[in-house]
Structures are given as C-alpha cells and as structure tokens.
Copies of this chain bind each other. A is one copy, B any other.
C-alpha cells in the first residue's frame, strides 16, 4: 500500500483532496491494485441521519471539481448550472461528493501513479479498469466519508453509466439515479471512435509504449484523439450553426493547409488545450473502460435482468441531437427498467447542441433533475 504522501499523479494535473484507501482493491478483470487513492471534492454537510448525500459522477475527461473553481486552472466547476448554491443539487440541502474516477489523472490512482512494487509509474502495467471498478472505488470513498446510502447518484455520459451501474452493483445503497445523455452499453460506433483515438495516441512515437516522460507526452496523438472525439460531442446542426463554412481570419480562401475554416481552428484548439490537462495513458484506459461497458452482458444480453428487483428510482434524460448516446439508447434503458418494475421517469429534451447539451445551458434538464430529486426527498 502506498502512503498518501508518496503516491503522485502526473505533475501537470495534480490533485487537491485525496484519500488513500488501503488494502487490496479487486478489479473486474480479476487483477487487483495494492490500495488506491481517490481524489475528491465535497460540498455541503452530511446531515444527522446521513440521508442527504448525492454522488455526482464525471464524464470521460471530467474531474472532481464539479462545483466551484478548479484550484489549479482557476476555471469554474464543470456542472455549474446543476450543482451549486441555489441549484438543483445544492450544498445548502445536499452533501455533494464528486471524485476523480479510478484510472483518471486528476489525483486518483491511474496509469500515471507510482507502482509501489517498482517505484515507477504504472504506465501500461496499470491493470485494465471498468465502470464497475470506478463505482466500487466510489463506494470505498463513501465508506470513508460515512455515507451508507446515497440519496442519489447523478451523472451524464460516462457519469450516467456509473450512475446506472451503481443501481446494479450496490442496489441497497442508492435511492435514486439520474442518468443523462448516456447508454447501458457502448455501441460498435462508439467503440470505433474510441479505437481511432487510441490508435492515434499509440501511433505517436512520443508515446513510447506508454513510458513517455512527463515533459514529453504524445501530444500530437492525444490532440488528434481529442479532435475526433470532440466531433462526436457536437451535432451536425450545431457545428453548422456555430461555424458553417466561415473562414478563419480571412475573407477569401488561402489555398493552403493552415486552418482556413473556423471549424478547423476550433478543433485544433480543442486538441491542443486537451493535451494541457489530460494524461494520454489515462485516456487509453478510460476509453477502454467505456468500451467494455455493457450492463446486460452478464445477463445473457437481457438488460432488464440487470435491474431485477431494484428499489431504486430512476430519471433518464436524453437530447434530440445527441448522436453519441442517442435517445434510442435511453429508451432501451427505460424499457428495461419498466420490465424490471422500476420507478422510472424519462424525458427527451430538444437541443441543437448534441451530446454536450448536458453540460451547457439546459434549463429543462435542470428542472427535471430538481423535481425528481425533490420528489425523492419527501
């Protein structure tokens, strides 16, 4: 077991609050980690009967700073419209917990952590992780924080997968689940896009089989991976509305390979900015965890069986223009929950912003979550 002081993540990404959870941590793959660190934030106060805890789960490239500024970047939390004073998830009413996922690069144990057996970074010797492993690490964190049963688990995208998996893995510890812009499995197309990103990273000679130096990451490959993924977070209509065929810093075509179109410049910026805040190996491991996700797989492909006997209430939200996790996937979840006799409310919201809609201004989504959570608190 590594002590808190000696386990570090890539220095570029760092951490804030972190707990070392000692003891062998068993993984879905059959492998194990020799203790794990989890970086997390909390907001608000756990009430006397420990009944007001809400776990917020982040997406692929998110972190524990769901509300309030990220102390390193100074940027605001990633879900300010939903989480914060006076919001649907409110520190005045809730004890809000958000942790960096296992495998991540914002303070929790991941491939950039030091392997106590060697004293070097795990890199590609890090064991493969799954959504279930992320959930079990969160459960250990909640044990540490004195939270037995959660009032709710709330998440979008990969965060929504964790929320759904909480109800499957720890049914007695979850009163309510809010799963937004998500799916109960990764589709072939989802896997295909992730594979492009992984191949881009692994094709970068700077990747060095995962053993890149801190100051020499596979930046070009990671940027390309982010660019490809970023397209899937937006919609065709949204891209057209935002950029169309407008030119960047010019009025006529330049007939060169510079970024001539605004959309090119935007994508390049997205790629470069991502390299500053994310670890390439973490990207490999977390995309793989997403690809492995298929709640129905252990149940002969019958999703309803995964939720059999559930007492958890569910709210499922999708967005019309989300083609990464389209409404059809949300409906599949809802059908399975109905078949399992679960209490479930479902809404598809109009939005032109694609998958990213859940992170943007979505007042209807906020109202849905607020109403659902308040109903559960009565």
Stretch in A47-55, A144-152, A158-166, A198-206 touching the partner: A198-206
On chain B, the residues within 8 Å of A199 by CB distance are 220, 223-224, 227, 268, 271
Q: What CA separation (Å) do A326 and B297 show in the bound complex?
A: 33
On chain B, the residues within 8 Å of A31 by CB distance are 255
Q: Is A240 an interface residue (CB 8 A)?
A: yes
Complex partner residue of A223 from B185, B203, B234, B292, CB under 8 angstroms: B203
Instruction: State the copy count for this chain.
Output: 2
On whether A203 and B188 interact (CB within 8 A), knowing A195-B268, A231-B196, A323-B236, the answer reads no
On whether A243 and B196 interact (CB within 8 A), knowing A224-B224, A257-B284, A323-B236, the answer reads no
Cβ distance A253 to chain B, nearest Cβ, rounded Å: 6
Stretch in A102-110, A173-181, A259-267, A334-342 touching the partner: A259-267
Size of A's binding interface in residues, CB under 8 A:
57
Chain A 221-240 against B: per-residue CB contact (8 Å), 1 yes, 0 no?
Answer: 10110011001001010011
Complex partner residue of A203 from B196, B202, B221, B323, CB under 8 angstroms: B221
Interface of A is mostly: helix
On chain B, the residues within 8 Å of A243 by CB distance are 188
Cβ distance A66 to chain B, nearest Cβ, rounded Å: 28
On chain B, the residues within 8 Å of A195 by CB distance are 227, 259, 261, 263-264, 267-268
On whether A236 and B189 interact (CB within 8 A), knowing A224-B203, A228-B196, A257-B198, the answer reads yes
Complex partner residue of A191 from B204, B228, B261, CB under 8 angstroms: B261
Q: Is A251 an interface residue (CB 8 A)?
A: no
Q: Is A45 an interface residue (CB 8 A)?
A: no
- Decide if A189 touches B239 in the complex (CB within 8 Å): yes
Q: Is A245 an interface residue (CB 8 A)?
A: yes
On chain B, the residues within 8 Å of A128 by CB distance are 255-256
